[in-house]
Amino acid sequence: ITATMSEAVVAGSSFTVTLGTGASDEVVLTAASAGTTLSGTYTVSTGDSSADLNVSSFEVASGQSITDIYGNAMTSTSLPSGNNLADNSALVVDAAPPTSTITSVAYNVTTGVLTFTGSNFDGIGAASASTDIKSYLDWAKLSWDINGDNETTSNVSFTESSITSAVVTNTSTLTVTLTSAAKSALEATSGFGAAGGTDTIDVTAGFIKDISGNVATTDAKANAAITYSDTTAPTVSSFTSTTADGSYGVGSAINITATMSEAVVAGSSFTVT
């Protein structure tokens, strides 16, 4: 917080300003050297709030003084009309952490989109449903748990570079789009998939942060169920053979290979005639 004086004051001059944060926060502004500028630092505290931070009043408190080089002391404590803090800066104070919760996750295997369902996602403070908030989220606190809590299988972790975008679609929906590389890496992980319905999502508290940097404490979710949006059944794309071209007689073993339109689970089988 900086105050500019009408004339130079002596080094060490100081006074106290009260800010309109709902908590009457006070900041001492001091002239570090002779001149017209006095400065001080306001540290946001829990419960503080202001849509446009402003100075509500100021005073020369006990032990403080404001004097020019000729010894004249400041006596006026009138706020500068049209030149207050809010007239010159746009500082929003938000000390309330988001209260977002996560209940479940859906995964679209075609688009690589993770859709989180929960509550109070609007508390993140995104300007609109097109605002990318991936930088507000702590991706180290999100993991895809292959086969649930089967400790023999490693989880799939994410970083900000794994994410194309993250947007608050509405108060109950957070939509996260993986990059093509992250999508491919996830789906290529051994054990990935809906077979048996065992994969889950693990979220550690603090995954969500709002645009002011406040960290959520309500967003933890262990073993969030994953639903899949793939409703397309696999088909046979081709039949081939790994056996060399040639003529084969009685007792010869000839390989028949079917290539499918998409990945199928281990153990899948059918009979060809």
Instruction: Give the pLDDT confidence of 37-78 residue by residue, as tens digits.
Output: 999 999 998 889 999 999 999 999 999 999 999 999 999 999
Rounded CA separation 32/20 (Å):
25
What confidence category does residue 23 fall into, taking pLDDT thresholds of 50, 70 and 90? Answer: confident
Type of residue found at 49 = S
Per residue in 11-46, is it b (16+ CB within 10 Å) or e — as a string?
A: eebbbbbebbbebebebebebeeeeeebebebebee
pTM greater than the 0.85 cutoff: no
pLDDT at 269 over 70: yes
pLDDT score for 273: 96
Tokens coding 2:
């900086």
